[in-house]
Amino acid sequence: MRNRINRMKTYRMQEQASSAKLIFIGLRLVSVKVLNRYRKTQKLRVIRKDSVPQDAAGKGKRMLTGKVALVTGAGRGIGREIAKTLARDGAFVVVNYNGSKERAEEVVSEIGAKHAVAVRCDVSDFAACGEMVNGIVKEYGHLDILVNNAGITRDGLIMKMSEEDFDAVVATNLKGAFHTIRHASRTFLKQRAGRIINISSVSGVMGNAGQANYSASKAGIIGLTKSVARELASRGITCNAVAPGFIETEMTDVMTDAAKEAVMSQIPLQRTGKTTDIAELVAFLASDRASYITGQVISVDGGMHM
Ligand code: NAD
């Protein structure tokens, strides 16, 4: 009887041992499978990290995501390209216009109505600029990027230039930038952040016969840029100027062939500039990647000024 009980005990122990062995083998197989799968995903992750362009924060998002930008005179030409480029990089864009509502609406629909809005304002009007800037802050909660692009020409030799033509150009090109900066600076200071990019010109840097009013306004932009940069730098706000050369737009379309040829002969890179040449630089200056650049005048002119 005792022998029988002992045999049964040994049999049960053997049975338990073999099922424990089976469980152990099963667990090992599962863990090897899980480990292999983990290694595979890690490999994939490493590949993705290297191939997707990363933003400044290294998270793969676009470099202006979440920013609100105001671009003046954005219904056509350089301003239009800047608005589209800032939107491409993730910003919500206020497309300012003075003349044609249709063209501004066109830019908005090209960008997408969720990511842009057209706002009419004559930048030479101080109070209207205040309304525009305050309206943006009220509606969208913040303003992060201000691009002063609106500009006009009233060319003529100094001997014949009317006071009206001189004043009109200065009022839009120079005072217009002062107006928007003056109103936006309050918001930028509160936010302790902001990007101001002013569109100057090679004419403001070098001067140009027949453009005393325009050159004066664009040179004024450079002084304005440097002073504002110094004033606002301690609060993390940057202010830079971009000085385009000869860019193909409706503004330069009106030049005579002789005038175009004369300019072309001064361009070492031997081609006219494109609106994208300017817009890409503006997008960079508006981003966190340019946080250590302020008070600069950056020429985009094929080497006309060096
Ligand atoms: P553009 O004439 O095609 O565009 C200028 C825009 O400013 C227009 O949409 C116009 O409606 C707008 N505007 C004019 N007055 C305004 C006002 N009072 N309020 C609001 N908007 C107003 O010219 P562009 O070639 O695109 O020039 C854009 C900027 O670049 C200008 O400041 C210009 O002086 C500067 N720039 C141009 C060149 C060039 O070769 N095209 C060279 C150097 C600098």
- pTM, two decimals, is 0.84
Q: Is residue 247 part of a domain?
A: yes
Q: What is the residue range of 283's domain?
A: 68-300
Of 30-44, 113-127, 273-287, give the lowest mean pLDDT range. 30-44
Whether residues 30 and 165 share a domain: the answer is: no
150 Cα to the center of ligand 1, angstroms: 5
Please report the pLDDT score of residue 33 as a whole number. Answer: 62
Q: Is residue 305 part of a domain?
A: no
Q: Taking all residues of the chain, what is their mean pLDDT, rounded to a whole number?
A: 88
Q: Answer yes or no: are the C-beta atoms of 63 and 141 closer than 8 Å.
A: no
User: What residues flank ligand 1, with Cβ below 6 Å?
Assistant: 72-73, 75-79, 96, 98-99, 122-124, 149-152, 172, 176, 199, 201, 244, 246-247, 249-252
Atom 44 (ligand 1) nearest CA: 201
- Band (52; pLDDT cuts 50, 70, 90): very low
Q: Is residue 59 part of a domain?
A: no
Q: Which positions are catalytic?
A: 214
The CATH number assigned to the domain holding 79 equals 3.40.50.720
- Band (61; pLDDT cuts 50, 70, 90): confident
Whether residues 36 and 101 share a domain: the answer is: no
Whether residues 125 and 253 share a domain: the answer is: yes
Whether residues 204 and 174 share a domain: the answer is: yes
Q: How far apart are CA 8 and CA 21, in angstroms?
A: 20
47 Cα to the center of ligand 1, angstroms: 44
Please report the pLDDT score of residue 46 as a whole number. Answer: 34
- Band (146; pLDDT cuts 50, 70, 90): very high
- Please state the rounded mean pLDDT for residues 249-268: 93
Please report the pLDDT score of residue 59 as a whole number. Answer: 53
Q: Write the pLDDT tens digit of every residue in 178-210.
A: 999 999 999 999 999 999 999 999 999 999 999
- Please state the rounded mean pLDDT for residues 150-165: 98
Atom 10 (ligand 1) nearest CA: 73
Atom of ligand 1 nearest to the CA of 247: 40
Q: Which residue has the tokens 């985009």?
A: 300
Please report the pLDDT score of residue 207 as a whole number. Answer: 97
71, 76, 78, 267: residue to mutate for ligand 1 pocket, most atoms within 8 A of CB: 78
